[in-house]
Structure 1
Amino acid sequence: MSRRVVCLRHGQTVWNVEHRFQGHSDIALNEVGVAQAERAASLLAALRPTMIVSSDLRRAYDTAVPLARLTNLEIFVDKDLRERGGGAWEGLTREEIKAGWPVEYEKWEAPGGEDPADVAERVAGAILRWRAKLDDGGLLVVVSHGAAIRLGIARLLGLPQELWSVLGGLGNCSWSVLEEDAKGWRLLEHNAGTLPEPVSSDDTPNG
């Protein structure tokens, strides 16, 4: 039997609205983000998840809370599901980053930040560890961050790094659905849950 994983991005924060690089900074949900988390929970609960695991950053954990409440599930916490570290860029707006590091901005490589390949490995590894705890037919909900989810998915699907950009970013409280069976991983849905809209994320310079 197959096992499915829902990768849910956290709700909106003030830094999302201000287009600031969040990275490992522990930023809370704003009022909109709290409402988004409640809405996402009401939809995802219908899928009858059997396990919830969250990044240790509170914007992700607090997004997981309404779903845990509706499903009576415990929230497990895994630091490896954190967002991509932004080094010197954390807390800065895109305009500030572009002005201070024009060359690095074009490559979206933060001084002192994490390499995308390292993020992909740790996130994919975390998903695989928790997936291994599922019974056949189980559904794991992973609550994480925009760049972390996209990179982890790309790694699980076996895409070469030069093609990782073919996967678009995720909106706040949108999700992607992966299914694993005997043939490997498939991406069933991506950035689901809302109508298409601009994505504010640490994922790209245009996020």
Structure 2
Amino acid sequence: MSTGWGAPDTSPTRLLLLRHGQTPLSVERRFAGRGDVPLTEAGRAQAAAAARRLAGRGVDAIVSSPLLRTRSTAEYAAEALGLPVEADDGFVETDFGAWEGMTFAEAREHDPVAVDRWVSDPRAAPPGGEAFASVSLRVGAARDALVERYRGRTVLVVTHVTPIKTLVQQALLAPVQALYRMHLDTASLTEVDVYADGPMVMRAFNDTSHLA
């Protein structure tokens, strides 16, 4: 991958990364991985607002994590854009294993050693779950496959906190530990350009102006 200062000389594949709308677990700041939780009423309103924002963009395709909260969010965009939704398992959320549905404090109370290891080492996984280092490999492969399918086009990817953070971390050539230093709001938009000759460029991060 090129790290030079020269501007890439190809048209990028633009990834519009939309986090799903609010859920009951996000309200209480609980681990929400593979559990199929629905959107709240506020989450549906957020998804509709994001769809209105995206209606003015030249989006060529919509790709979504297969979980209910992302599919429901993607359906609003699909209606606004007149496009089908393509499910992609590569953009599913981290598997939080035994911590699913817990708050951070509850997980720490239950297993403080495992939590301390997890927050300090991206190779450590929650009990029965998935390490951030593994998520990074999975999401990177999904990104590469997506860019191959839609090279030079604009793709809306409706996904979760960790996959979006991972794509930003990779765009910035940051260590995996950078995931612990980012915050993403529900229904926020992040934009990453992927150039055919190697570099990725972050254009926007955690944009919630459509929710104001």
- What TM-score range do you get, normalising by the shorter chain? 0.7 to 0.9
Contact 1:121 1:152 in 2 (8 A): no
Is the partner of 1:35 in helix, strand or coil? helix
Contact 2:171 2:202 in 1 (8 A): no
Aligned counterpart, 2:174: 159
Identical amino acids, percent of aligned pairs? 32
CA offset digits 1:67-112 (Å, max 9, x no partner): 1101111100011211110011012222321211122223344212
2:208 maps to a residue whose letter is G
Aligned counterpart, 2:137: 121
Aligned counterpart, 1:130: 146
For 1:55 and 1:64, the matched residues in 2 are separated by: 9
Aligned counterpart, 2:7: none
Of structures 1 and 2, the larger Rg is shown by: 2
For 2:40 and 2:198, the matched residues in 1 are separated by: 41
- Residues 1:178 and 2:192 aligned together: yes
Question: Greater CA deviation, 12-21 or 67-76?
Answer: 12-21
For 1:183 and 1:98, the matched residues in 2 are separated by: 40
Aligned counterpart, 1:74: 84
- Residues 1:54 and 2:43 aligned together: no
The partner residue of 1:8 within 18, 21, 24 is 18
For 1:104 and 1:134, the matched residues in 2 are separated by: 40
For 1:154 and 1:135, the matched residues in 2 are separated by: 21
Question: Greater CA deviation, 53-62 or 97-106?
Answer: 97-106
CA offset digits 1:27-62 (Å, max 9, x no partner): 110101000000001111211210100000010011
For 1:141 and 1:127, the matched residues in 2 are separated by: 12
For 1:183 and 1:78, the matched residues in 2 are separated by: 23
Contact 2:192 2:203 in 1 (8 A): yes
TM-score (norm 1): 0.86
CA RMSD of aligned residues (A): 1.9
**CA offset at residue 128 of structure 1?**
1.9
For 1:84 and 1:116, the matched residues in 2 are separated by: 7
| Consecutive unaligned residues in structure 2, runs of 5 or more | 1-10, 120-124
- Residues 1:141 and 2:156 aligned together: yes
Q: Please list every run of at least 4 consecutive aligned residues from structure 1 whose deviation after the TM superposition is greater than 4 angstroms.
A: none
Question: Aligned residues, how many?
Answer: 194
Question: Greater CA deviation, 21-30 or 96-105?
Answer: 96-105
**CA offset at residue 162 of structure 1?**
4.1
For 1:163 and 1:96, the matched residues in 2 are separated by: 24
Question: Greater CA deviation, 31-40 or 122-131?
Answer: 122-131
TM-score (norm 2): 0.84
For 2:175 and 2:28, the matched residues in 1 are separated by: 32
Question: Greater CA deviation, 68-77 or 85-94?
Answer: 85-94
Is the partner of 1:11 in helix, strand or coil? coil
**CA offset at residue 125 of structure 1?**
1.5
Aligned counterpart, 1:18: 28
| Consecutive unaligned residues in structure 1, runs of 5 or more | 196-207
